[in-house]
Amino acid sequence: MRKILLTIDALNINAATIDFACYIARLTRSKLTGVFLENILYEEVEDNAYVSAGSTKGLSYNQRQAIAEQNILFFKEACEKRSVQASIHRDRGFPINEIVEESRFADLLIIEPSVSFKKKLEGSPSGFVKSVLAEAECPVIIAPESFDGVHDIVFAYDGSKSAVFAMKQFTYLFPELSDKKVTLLEVDKHSEFTVREKPKIIEWLKSHYADMHIEMLTGTVEEELFKHLIEKKDLIVVMGAFGRNAVSTFFKESRATLIMRATNLPIFITHH
């Protein structure tokens, strides 16, 4: 991996997310590009509806630009202190369009779950983040609020092709984590994790990870996955979602949403 994007609201920077992104960049010896999104020409007033606006949240154009410049300087200094090679992209169009286009030419995108360009407060993940996950053209990591490092990896496996695809993408992007403990967590009682398939996926994982384990959850997927992860720390969760419609369904079913709201874990999600 060589190019990591960090999605940043130019007016609302999050130091914890920058710290996490720098950790990932140092781990993989990658360049970190801060994509500073400015909804400068349009202001979102409701889903998929925009009106022309000269300011947002009561700020003048000059005030917005001053804050953005301060945040860019903060990002540059934070990366320099952590010995991370960094660059800046300032995108001033529709935020979702801008970040999707950026993702087309990146290996990984990092975003905090609450980033939003709406006036009203949203839950976590925000509507913007859900759109990014559905549209992004590279894998995405949802950043945690605080982070001390990756000691364990959990592959949430539901028997789908997309779950295996996510495992492969994560493994190829993060060979530096091959010495970590890996848990294959079967989370769906209706899984296609057949007797024939089981030894094949175990063989593949063991070819990449030295410390591999299997755990099976019974019961409601959302409840069992939540209970399993609620008290965990220092691990990253890997999940797959097939295509745009599946990402939407994925969040309606609350599998990732519940984890984001109730735990402090980074979540790796990709679709194909």
Instruction: Output the pTM of the full model.
Output: 0.87
112, 14 Cβ separation under 8 angstroms: yes
Q: Which residues are CB-neighbours of 126 under 8 A, at least 6 positions away?
A: 113, 114, 115, 116, 118
| Residue 53 exposure: Cα atoms within 13 Å on the Cβ side | 20
Q: Which residues are CB-neighbours of 215 under 8 A, at least 6 positions away?
A: 183, 184, 185, 186, 228
Q: What residues of the chain score a pLDDT lower than 50?
A: 42-55, 242, 254
Would you kindly state where each structural domain of the chain is located, as residue ranges?
3-142, 152-270
DSSP-derived letter for residue 192 is: -
- Both tokens of 48, joined, read 């998929």
Confirm or reject CATH 3.30.930.10 for domain 152-270, answering yes or no: no
140, 109 Cβ separation under 8 angstroms: yes
Per-residue pLDDT of 37-69, as tens digits, reads: 988 654 444 444 333 333 355 678 888 889 999
- Both tokens of 265, joined, read 């874990």
Cα–Cα nearest to 271, from 261, 256, 259, 258: 256
State the first-to-last Cα distance of the chain, in angstroms, to the nearest integer: 18
CATH fold for the domain made of 3-142: Rossmann fold (3.40.50)
Amino acid in the structure at residue 46: E
Cα(90)–Cα(114) distance, rounded to whole angstroms?
20
Q: How far is CA 51 from CA 40, 48, 117, 126, in A?
A: 12, 10, 13, 20
